[in-house]
Amino acid sequence: MTKALFIIDVQNDFCEGGSLAVTGGAAVATGITELLRSKPSIYDFVIASRDWHDAGNDNGGHFAAVGESPDYVHTWPVHCVSGTSGAEYHPNLDSTLVDFHIIKGMGKPSYSIFEGQTPDGVNLKALLGYLNVTDIDVVGLATDYCVLASSLDAKNAGFNVTVIKDLVAGVAGESSEKALVTLATAGCKIG
């Protein structure tokens, strides 16, 4: 058994004070760091994703058009633009504990970590195969969007998946609870 931790999108723009903040984001960042420091050998690999959107365009309709309000379902405020402080990991997350960094959403909507790649172009599925990963724990932001999509894709790809409920935070309470039910129904463990 080779176990990996997926840290999903724990970025400044998704935490308190960011352009698309999730309540509890900073606490999730702190909790992930505490987990990794207190149990340094629990994971064989730590893999973190970041939205890494293009500047100067709507990223395939992901950003609301200039002068229009986002619908918060398909269109969003400008967030996590590559090279900006909003796209960086939240400071409460110790990124030195991350083995592999995955960027996603370069010019298009991307919710799942499986839509991303390493900065040098290796896609996640190939990386996981090379590392012989069998089990994945998932933490991060947001429960009802990118955690949901990433966890479902991991399960559908044949991995044993556990979502650590205390280390995720969502956009809204009702949709986050629905996401956890969806994940459990799909065969993910909720830990």
* Catalytic residue status for 165: no
Encode 106-120: b = buried (16+ Cβ within 10 Å), e = exposed. beebbbbbbbbbeee
Strands (E), 17-56: 45-51
Q: How far is CA 165 from the centre of its chain?
A: 14
The one catalytic residue in 13, 51, 80, 146 is 146
* Catalytic residue status for 39: no
The one catalytic residue in 104, 144, 153, 188 is 104
Q: Of 189, 90, 187, whose CA–CA distance to 140 is shortest?
A: 90
- Rounded Cα gap, residues 71 and 156, in angstroms: 29
Q: Of 179, 114, 105, whose CA–CA distance to 142 is shortest?
A: 179
Q: Are 11 and 142 in contact (CB under 8 A)?
A: no
* Catalytic residue status for 146: yes
| Residue 83 neighbours by CB distance under 10 Å | 9
Q: Of 91, 85, 115, whose CA–CA distance to 19 is shortest?
A: 85
Residues tagged active-site: 9, 104, 146
